[in-house]
Amino acid sequence: MFYQKTIRDSVKFEGIGLHSGENVGMVLCPAPPDTGVVFRSNGVSIAALHENVADTSYATSLLKDGVRVRTVEHLLSALAGLSIDNLYVELSGDELPIMDGSAWPFVKALKEAGLVTQGAPRRFLKVVRPITVHEGDKSATLLPSSVTQMTFRIDFDHPMLHDQRYAMELDPEGFEVELSKARTFAFRRDADMLTRAGLGKGGSAENVVILEEDGIFNEEGLRYPDEFVRHKMMDAVGDLSLIGMPFIGHLVADKSGHKLNQRLVAEVMRQTGSWIVVEGGATEQADVSSNSYTLAEAM
């Protein structure tokens, strides 16, 4: 995990956009060290960075030079969860395919394509002082920690989503097993509102867990007993990857979603004295900035 990674072979996907309802093609391609994740659509390259976030309503969208790419969080989550640093994402439309509503189809295909370790060390943002944001009774906080871990709580007005909690240490195996298959969810009662907003046109029981008044519509049932909070955690892994490097810290979130996740990322970018950049690598270590350390020194 201390060296940057890309994929060995390109991977193709075709599917429907959750909000646009349009068919879209996507190709994931290997990229050289220090590229990061870059989306390419309509001749424009858009780096997966917070500075390019355009919207967080029911999904995370990026925008540059008038070109928008929507619903990027599940793919970004799969990449961050598997510790893949460098990738080109070629899109035929303005929204990523939703697949089954989780990160699992991306995880499976990426692993089949093969992960390649590159020569450059990974850079990590290590939290050294607490960073927190609030919105009413919602909050998201990054705390200092020697490992990357997450503690989440959600609480919706529904018997299946009341006071649901989950905590875990985040590593590639844990992400794949515990988070990657958790699907997005929506309330049937919100269908008309989403339609009026021009959203959810591609949503169905094939890619969304649909909540009715006291249960779920999907015949498949749930993949995890607490699938809903795990999906919020999976989303957060993708959203926080827009920092531009993996973080070492403890993410504690209470009822957080895309909007608050990005407010936290913005606060991280503002509070430069609350973190340091560390590099990992078994051989040579190079400073990134005047207050940088090697990973071994920082941990």
Model-level pTM?
Answer: 0.91
Specify the 3-state DSSP secondary structure of 52.
Answer: helix
- How far is it, in rounded angstroms, from Cα 57 to Cα 258? 7
pLDDT score at 214: 86
- 3-120 CATH choice from 3.40.50.261, 3.30.230.20, 3.40.50.720, 3.40.50.300: 3.30.230.20
- How far is it, in rounded angstroms, from Cα 174 to Cα 128? 24
Q: Which of 122, 51, 119 is nearest to 82 (CA)?
A: 122
pLDDT score at 39: 98
- How far is it, in rounded angstroms, from Cα 51 to Cα 53? 6
Structure tokens at 265: 């990322």
Provide the CATH topology of domain 124-298: lpxc deacetylase, domain 1 (3.30.1700)
Residues noted as catalytic? 258
Specify the 3-state DSSP secondary structure of 157.
Answer: coil
pLDDT score at 1: 56
CA atoms within 13 A on the CB side of 290: 2
CA distances from 160 to 123, 183, 185, 227 (A): 39, 15, 12, 10
Q: Where are the domains of the chain?
A: 3-120, 124-298
- Is 124-298 the same fold as 3-120? no
pLDDT < 70: residue spans in the chain: 1, 281-299
